Structure 1
Amino acid sequence: MFEDVTSVTLHSALTGLARRQRVIADNIANIETPGFLAGRVQFEDALRTAVEAGEPGSAPVRVARSLEPTRENGNNVNLDREVLSNVDTGLRYQTMLRATDDKFVLLRTAIRG
């Protein structure tokens, strides 16, 4: 419906942040699983590059396994890092939702005149 750069960028950011929240939840759920390597979601640099190229919808959301040191059981999930990342991701998601809401308020105001 809305294919302008701002709308597509906001949608891409929300998609990446939602994916990060799911990966963080998976990391926390597997904190005691032997051999489990934490996942890390990366999309911000790709989104920035895609926006600069005028194609924000083409930004990939990548999930990579962490190469941080592991504990004796081969697991490298750090609960403190996951909690902080979850709070940061939640705040970023709220910010993107607010920006989306503000965009629709502006559109509604423009339509009403």
Structure 2
Amino acid sequence: MFNSNFDTLKTAMDVQMKRQELHAQNIANAETPGYKRKYVAFEEYLQESKMKLQLKTTNQKHLPTSPKVVTAKEVAMKNTSLTNDQNNVDIDMEVTEMVKDALRYQVLSRLMSSNIDRYNTVIRNTR
């Protein structure tokens, strides 16, 4: 239980950080001819993480499965262009998405803090 909660939150926070990196990269290249916007393919990431979930054992004699590391997929949008130079970065959209991702990260961070506080309370009260 302990590892699962923290691993899930950590993974979600990692995805948000990767998204922030890509938004910053997209904004930095908004004037680069031919640059294609990059994003995290969340649906593919979610599917991959579902496939790599650790199996629960119902008997002590079962072999444990090792946790798998899932990484977010970075994808470039190739078939769209907003300008004549074949660049498809929309700065307004990137900034809006950055703000949304920052808020999501903040919520995840608070959840992580709350989980840590709960475990600390349990540890203090069992002494």
Same fold per superposition (TM over 0.5): yes
Q: Does 1:102 align with 2:114?
A: yes
Residue aligning to 1:67: 78
Counterpart-to-counterpart distance in 1, 2:2 and 2:73: 23
1:61 Cα offset (Å): 0.3
Counterpart-to-counterpart distance in 2, 1:17 and 1:44: 14
Q: Which has the larger radius of gyration?
A: 2
Q: Secondary structure at the match of 1:17?
A: helix
AA at the equivalent of 2:87: N
Counterpart-to-counterpart distance in 2, 1:48 and 1:88: 22
Where structure 1 has 5 or more consecutive residues not aligned to the other structure, the ranges are none
Q: Does 1:50 align with 2:49?
A: yes
Where structure 2 has 5 or more consecutive residues not aligned to the other structure, the ranges are 55-66
Higher helix proportion (structure 1 or 2): 1
1:16 Cα offset (Å): 0.9
Q: Does 1:34 align with 2:33?
A: yes
1:11 Cα offset (Å): 0.7
TM-score normalised by L of structure 2 = 0.77
1:96 Cα offset (Å): 0.6
Cα deviation, 1:21-76, whole Å, max 9, x if unaligned, reads: 01100000111000000101123663476358634853330000013521100100
Residue aligning to 1:93: 105
- Checking the alignment, whether the CA contact within 8 Å between 2:45 and 2:73 is kept in structure 1 is no
